[in-house]
Chains A and B, each alone.
Chain A
Amino acid sequence: MVGQRKWSRRTAAIVFLTPALLCLLAFQLLPMASSIIISFTDWDLLTHWTKMNFIGWDNYAQVFREEKSYTAIRNVFVFLLGYLPSIVVLGTLLAVLLNRPIRGVKLYRAAVFVPVITSWVAVSIVWRWLLNGQSGLINYLLAQVGIQGPIWLQDDFWAMVAIILVTLWKDIGFVSIILLAGLQDISVDYYEAAELDGASPWSKLWRITVPMLSPTLYFVVTISLINSFQLFVQVLIMTNGGPAGATSTIVEQVYRNAFQFNKMGFASAQSWVLLLIILVTTLALQQLQRRWVVYDR
Chain B
Amino acid sequence: MLDKASKYKVSPPLNDDTFNQPDADLNAFVNGKLAMARFGIWNFAKFSEAKFNWDIALEPGNTQKAHHFFADGLVAAKTTKNADAAWRFLKFFTSAPEAVSKRIEAGWSIPAVTDPAVLDAYYKQKPPESKQVVTDALDSLVLPPVGPKPEKWGEFTAAVGEELDKAKLGRSSAQEALDAAQKRVEALMK
Q: Hey, which bits of chain A sit against chain B, CB under 8 A? A: 44, 46, 132-136, 151, 153-156, 242-245, 256, 260-262
Say whether A136 contacts B169, CB under 8 Å.
no
Interface residue from A44, A133, A242 paired with B151 (Cβ < 8 Å): A44
Say whether A260 contacts B17, CB under 8 Å.
no
What 0/1 readout, one digit per residue, does chain B (108-151) give for beta carbons within 8 Å of chain A? 00000000000000000000000000000000000000000001
15 contacts between A and B (CB under 8 A): A46-B151, A132-B17, A132-B18, A134-B16, A154-B16, A154-B20, A155-B169, A242-B162, A244-B162, A244-B168, A245-B162, A261-B152, A261-B154, A261-B155, A261-B158
Say whether A135 contacts B18, CB under 8 Å.
yes
Shortest Cβ gap from B102 to chain A (Å)? 34
Evaluate whether A243 and B165 lie within 8 angstroms (CB atoms) in the complex, with A132-B17, A133-B16, A135-B17 already known: yes
Which residue on chain B has the smallest CB distance to residue A136?
Answer: B17
Q: Hey, which bits of chain B sit against chain A, CB under 8 A? A: 13, 15-18, 20, 151-152, 154-155, 158, 162-163, 165-166, 168-169, 171
- Rounded to whole angstroms, the CA-CA distance of A135 and B27 in the bound complex is 15
- Rounded to whole angstroms, the CA-CA distance of A80 and B175 in the bound complex is 35
Chain A-chain B contacts (Cβ-Cβ < 8 Å), number? 51
Say whether A151 contacts B169, CB under 8 Å.
no
Given contacts A44-B151, A244-B168, list 13 more A-B pairs with CB under 8 A. A134-B17, A154-B17, A154-B169, A156-B171, A242-B162, A242-B165, A244-B165, A244-B169, A244-B171, A245-B165, A260-B154, A261-B155, A261-B158
Chain B residues with CB under 8 Å of A44's CB are 151
Shortest Cβ gap from B3 to chain A (Å)? 19
Say whether A153 contacts B171, CB under 8 Å.
no
- Rounded to whole angstroms, the CA-CA distance of A151 and B13 in the bound complex is 11
- Rounded to whole angstroms, the CA-CA distance of A260 and B159 in the bound complex is 13
Say whether A154 contacts B15, CB under 8 Å.
yes
- Rounded to whole angstroms, the CA-CA distance of A261 and B153 in the bound complex is 8
Say whether A156 contacts B18, CB under 8 Å.
no
Chain B residues with CB under 8 Å of A46's CB are 151
Shortest Cβ gap from B85 to chain A (Å)? 28
- Rounded to whole angstroms, the CA-CA distance of A243 and B170 in the bound complex is 12
